[in-house]
Amino acid sequence: MKTTARQDKALLLKTARAVVEKMWHQTEGTSMRLRWPSRVGMVNTGGWRAKIGNMGKGQPGLQIWLDHFAGHDTRKFNFCYFLDSVKKMRRVADRAAKQLPIHRRITHKDMDKHGGKFYFLNEPIRRGEFGAAILEEYWGQWSYYGIYDVTIRSAGSEVNPKLVARAASFFLSVARTMPNATPEKEEHEVYPQFENRKVITSHLQRERSSYLATERKNHDDYECQVCGLLFEEAYGKIGEGFAEAHHRIPLHRLNGKVKTRMEDLATVCANCHRMLHKMEGKRNDVEKLRAIVKKHKKR
């Protein structure tokens, strides 16, 4: 969908605010300092940038870009951490690599200037690289660690909730790999408005990739893979972008360091999630429970 510069600028500001709002009650246990963006600044990559916070003095800043740097006809979103130190950013990327391994490295040698107007990549971000972590290092000083987003935008300046969820999950996942950060607890995802909500399922207290969980939910369109419930249809706007991610093999049954893949997760509603944890803890529990639900619906 072709959009105007004015529409893209407005979309960036709205999206940045939506990302901050989504993360606002989920930063406990991190050093993240969020700021409400009041404007966006023009950049030399054919677009704009919004600053939405930082991890403390001398630590990475949180930024959202919407520009042509990815090398495509339309502007693409980039959610990233920024530092004016390549060495420091490499340490950040190394800590986050378990959840978000570096898929591609970019330097100033990989870009060109379009008609002398703005910088863009000689080799565009490929479809398989969107959503994957990319480390950018320029002139041995400025460095960015982030993801480019391929989400198709609607006409005008409407914010895409899937895009917002992906951005928030990326920022929070990386923040929880920083020194002194604590793992995310389930109440941050399910009950973000309550600071002292009692944990419902103890195994979910362990460290996990909220970014990967969000990718699973986006892939399943937030529809429960057991009963088919879509919270937005059942509860209206309050249920938009809500669901839970179930580990097909419970974390407590995994021995050693096992890397979770997106296919190891399943999008489920809260009720089905609890029922799954009453089962045997096998990979095909989702399919078994789906058959049980289908059987009882026929009665």
The domain containing residue 215 runs over which residues?
186-297
Taking each helix axis as running N to C, give the angle between helix 210-219 and helix 161-175, from 0 to 180 degrees, rounded to the nearest 10: 160
User: Over the Cα atoms of the chain, what is R_g?
Assistant: 20
Same-domain pairing of 138 and 271: no
**Domain total for the chain?**
2
Same-domain pairing of 33 and 164: yes
The length of the chain is: 299
Same-domain pairing of 28 and 163: yes
**Secondary structure (H, E, C), 65-128:** EEECCCCCCCCEEEEEEEECCHHHHHHHHHHHCCCCCEEEEEEHHHEEEECCCEEEECCCCCHH
Integer Cα distance of 151 and 158 in angstroms: 13
CA distances from 113 to 118, 122, 188 (A): 5, 9, 43
Contacts of 228 (CB under 8 A, 6+ apart): none
What pLDDT is attached to residue 248? 86
Does the residue 246 lie in any domain? Answer: yes
Cβ atoms < 10 Å from Cβ of 133: 23
Q: Which among 61, 150, 139, 76 has a CA at the least distance from the CA of 106?
A: 139
Same-domain pairing of 14 and 110: yes
Enter the tokens of residue 77.
């979103």
Same-domain pairing of 88 and 13: yes
Which of 132, 153, 175 marks a domain boundary?
175
Give the H or E element holding residue 138: strand 133-138
Each residue's pLDDT, cut to its tens digit, for the chain (299 residues) gives 678 899 999 999 999 999 999 999 889 899 999 999 999 999 999 999 999 999 999 999 999 999 999 999 999 999 999 999 999 999 999 999 988 999 999 999 999 987 778 999 999 999 999 999 999 999 999 999 999 998 766 556 689 989 999 999 999 999 999 998 987 654 444 434 433 333 334 344 433 457 888 999 999 999 999 999 999 999 998 888 889 999 887 665 655 556 778 888 999 999 999 899 888 888 899 999 999 999 888 76
Same-domain pairing of 149 and 254: no
Burial of 80 (C-beta count, 10 Å sphere; 0-12/13-18/19+): buried
**Secondary structure (H, E, C), 192-238:** CCCCCCCCCCHHHHCCCCHHHHHHHHHHCCCECCCCCCEHHHHHHHH
What pLDDT is attached to residue 249? 77
3-state class (DSSP) for residue 161: helix
Does the residue 181 lie in any domain? Answer: no
Same-domain pairing of 30 and 124: yes
Long-range CB contacts for residues 151-160, cutoff 8 Å, separation at least 24: 151/77, 152/1, 153/1, 153/3, 153/11, 153/74, 154/1, 155/1, 155/3, 156/3, 156/7, 156/11, 157/7, 157/8, 157/10, 157/11, 157/14, 158/11, 159/11, 159/14, 159/15, 159/18, 160/15
What pLDDT is attached to residue 211? 87
Same-domain pairing of 233 and 280: yes
Which of 142, 175, 208 marks a domain boundary?
175
Same-domain pairing of 222 and 245: yes
- Token look-up 């409407």 returns 158
Q: Sign of the C-alpha dihedral, residues 183, 187, 193, 194?
A: negative
What pLDDT is attached to residue 191? 39
Integer Cα distance of 101 and 133 in angstroms: 6
Same-domain pairing of 66 and 209: no
- Adjacent-strand bridge partners of 80: 63, 146
Q: Phi and psi (nearest 5°) for 283?
A: -60, -30
3-state class (DSSP) for residue 44: coil
Does the residue 216 lie in any domain? Answer: yes
Q: Which among 167, 164, 207 has a CA at the least distance from the CA of 184?
A: 207
